[in-house]
Structure 1
């Protein structure tokens, strides 16, 4: 369907990748994987036709449609949510208007034998063929179905897009993209800012209703659920696996083991050959053998072992000061903004050492409850923090609170204590701050880099209650694994607000569900909760 042929990309004399070739077939579900900076987003933009390669080309048949959802975008503020989403059908509406205009013109013209008249007939015939090839669609019903699936309420439809956060605007763009029913959907981190229910709906849509899909995502469960093929970008080339992400990891491990064995054997042969050359280069009877081996070494292709991420540093939180038995006790707590009730008469108790997750649709009060615990908002009802509770808080805007005048190294050096000070560069390296990155000022860092730096700061502070509000946005899988392992070993109490199922799995042992203006306690882990929740979702859909 779509072919990528010998594509090469260079930036400032440095080759990002070269001789990249593969085909995307109908109904392929592809995960595009690789380390940060390997070139995944660049390759996706080339397939989308947004960027041009240094050499090589991408062939997309004229009748095929490719749609691309970038990580960051801006939605115009002049339309309502429903109007903006309906723009997905603009091309069809324009085609219908053009057909009507030409037909109107044909009825009033009388130059039936002229070339101009014949051209109009040809044009309207061609347009009509295209228009009537599009299956009959109830456009308004389609827009409504997609918007509700992505988490919007009907009451949101007539609100201006300007009233919504960047994450919700991203969903509007995603809705427009899905409604176009393209032959290839390209998604770059689509699940950032989406709640668990919306992600599940998107998974179901991509599996059952979409054509070909290529996705870049750090949400391991999402990638595993929707993809059956994995293309890895590494060290300037690609490897193509007919396997989902978790199976690809095992295949990659085997590949690297074989590469390492071949590399070791080649290096041994090179060493032996050089020893022979050095030993006999002055010996007349061995001259031809020496020359032959020198030429052989000159022509030898050195086996390369694919880069292995050596950043798997084991991080541990400092020992937690002991808190009271119940770090957080909430009694009959209610919060409203004017007429809008967020939740009413909420009760929850978090015991010392528990690791709990706050889950639910966006806007149902998860972050509001966190702000109440932090004392950042007023509320009705009771909220008691236990004895000697010391809170470490990671807010969604935590990155914006960093001192921009400091360097990366200075930011961590200012809070590191004891032996940890000797490991600052190792810790920074684990979070992908290598080489000269440590001397960069915070003000020049990207949003993702600031998020990682803010997370390191939190890891090093001695606290006994950690509250993390969407901590994994902008983090790659390796970094998430490092943080998850550190949180598992954390001996204090943990409250996690997250839509990342893979991150929560094996970490949160209890779930508080926010929805319908109340907070419900579930004693299952996230897997048990989701199994139950999927059944509830079916009833929810029936009610709607």
Structure 2
């Protein structure tokens, strides 16, 4: 069932059209992502769908009685209530039913009511009805539901009585989202819901939204989050909307294939046009060939010419290059401790960074990840230990707090002052590659947006030609396009990387290993983020099994302390726990395998289409040898596709049977 439809919607800003003829269908239980570069109009469209603004043209229709919850970017909760009071206000109807139950209970204990059988029976019937409604609305479990959601957002019981007004901006935004989740609207519209969330909270939110009963419409720069939550993507770019099925990764692949196909058809037609025009120009004045030239001219006139495919000409394009190579050992930190006077955040911390490695540092907020980077750079002293750099190591630092910029300077002077011997033209060219063009270079830095400041910091870093980059949350404030450009630049970098990031997709794309920071120090995982998550899961399962085994051994060694009958249920419960964990692990593997097979089938289908198009070309159609080769290729692709479909069917059925 369709909950909401966006039909031929347009938005203008003055004489400029932000987007036009936008179409969108949101089905019941849909999981939809809205993507597009900064400034494309995503937030503007969300406000229209939420009913806060109206389109300039077109309409938005919705199912009768549809309930919508909308969270704008960094929209904090504004309330004088305590945290618990604000969350509990969602269940006002439950409170009213509970009060009614108490009143009816009082009446049922009234001697006068008891004495009148008819009144008593009627009151008892009303009580049963109210109690049933109370139970259906989770009256006996709503407090546990509130506690579960608050705990997911890192609000523990000791802050329930804290006033909302005392919270930080980020906490108010998290609380606004928590309240929306408890309200259980039919359609939840979330604009950048992952801002201010650490990885632990993000993981919890992903799990919660996966089981959310209503529909979801989400704008987010967190591609890992989108991959885990959505199964449809609407791409708002070049003033129009295009719909894709699948998660974010599948969208990226399908969009690339679509653009590649558009260019292929466009270039093919351009070659045909050029050939026809060349014939006309050479033969129109010759008596013997003028009729043929006129026929081709008519053919050109009737041709439905394809528009040149839109190119991402406003995407930043840059790279990082090392002016000289470092030694093999880049950085060593041994048994160090980081923190501040009187407070140790993490100990012992150990790092052994070698040339060309890309190491991601992860851990919860406040654990000392940024502090560790600053201690390595000498900006904050280690509580214990030191950082030792290798031979010829030259470091460059990206500060997430953006303190490396001077607010009183312009964009141009920020770079030129550091490189006074570089010609202004070259400085402007470099800035242009980071999307600072025309009058942008004369903007004062204090007037820049967060994304513009981030790009300027990256520009400065790229001009330093360091061989060891230390980056603190480099993807903050960047849109998806800029993040992808940064990933390519860092993967092509001929130096060494050490970075802190909450962007799990970014870590997967860039990191060769992951270092987790905790109060107990650092732990190295030799893989990307997904590998790190899998290994952590294995560690937790082994720890649980070891704890259970120890408890059972203690029980056997001390039968008087623990009844033998109590040991049996504990052992059986552990077996059930291990079986459940094993099933979850197998299910995750199957899910990844099914997704990989789906991607493979899509890729093979595109290969088959390309081969068929080549076979249909006149020059190949008349060449039996070439046609035979192409047919062999097509047969091989079809055979591989048939096998992939068989494997997919088997594994999809196995996955379905696990649910």
Question: How far apart are 1:361 and its partner, in Å?
Answer: 1.3
* Distance verdict in 2 for CA 1:535–1:62, change over 3 Å: farther
Q: Distance in 2 between matches of 1:385 and 1:253?
A: 44
Contact 1:313 1:426 in 2 (8 A): no
Q: Distance in 2 between matches of 1:307 and 1:217?
A: 23
Contact 2:320 2:465 in 1 (8 A): no
Structure 1: gaps (5+ residues):
104-126
Match of 2:339 in 1: 335
Contact 1:67 1:186 in 2 (8 A): yes
Contact 2:266 2:309 in 1 (8 A): no
Q: Distance in 2 between matches of 1:499 and 1:244?
A: 20
Q: How does 1:119-518 map to 2 (within 5 A)?
A: 134-136=137-139, 138-161=141-164, 164-264=167-267, 272=276, 303-310=306-313, 311=315, 313-320=317-324, 322=326, 325=329, 327-333=331-337, 335=339, 341-353=343-355, 354-377=357-380, 380-386=383-389, 390-398=394-402, 401-416=404-419, 424-425=427-428, 427-515=430-518, 517-518=519-520
Q: Count how many residue pairs are aligned between Structure 1 and Structure 2.
A: 509
CA deviation map 1:63-112 (0-9, x unaligned) = 2222222222234374544444445x166468769999xx9xxxxxxxxx
Question: How far apart are 1:260 and its partner, in Å?
Answer: 2.9
* Distance verdict in 2 for CA 1:268–1:528, change over 3 Å: closer
Question: How far apart are 1:14 and its partner, in Å?
Answer: 0.8
Contact 1:390 1:463 in 2 (8 A): yes
* Distance verdict in 2 for CA 1:40–1:99, change over 3 Å: farther
TM-score, with structure 1 as normaliser:
0.79
CA deviation map 1:210-229 (0-9, x unaligned) = 42112222222221222111
Match of 2:550 in 1: none
* Distance verdict in 2 for CA 1:325–1:27, change over 3 Å: same
Q: Distance in 1 between matches of 2:144 and 2:200?
A: 21
Q: Mean Cα displacement is larger for which, 303-312 or 466-475?
A: 303-312
SS of structure 1 residue aligned to 2:319: coil
Q: How does 1:66-85 map to 2 (within 5 A)?
A: 66-76=68-78, 78-85=80-87
Q: Distance in 1 between matches of 2:83 and 2:539?
A: 27
* Distance verdict in 2 for CA 1:227–1:431, change over 3 Å: farther
* Distance verdict in 2 for CA 1:24–1:149, change over 3 Å: same
Contact 1:321 1:462 in 2 (8 A): no
Superposed CA RMSD: 4.2
CA deviation map 1:321-346 (0-9, x unaligned) = 637935342434153676xx553532
Per residue, is there more helix in 1 or in 2? 2
Match of 2:19 in 1: 17
Structure 2: gaps (5+ residues):
105-129, 548-659
Q: Distance in 2 between matches of 1:256 and 1:344?
A: 48
Rg larger in 1 or in 2? Answer: 2
Contact 2:273 2:300 in 1 (8 A): no
TM-score, with structure 2 as normaliser:
0.67
* Distance verdict in 2 for CA 1:128–1:280, change over 3 Å: farther
Contact 1:4 1:23 in 2 (8 A): yes
- Of structures 1 and 2, the one with the larger relative CO (CA 8 A, separation 6+) is 1
CA deviation map 1:471-506 (0-9, x unaligned) = 111212332233223333444443211111221125
Q: Distance in 2 between matches of 1:438 and 1:5?
A: 40
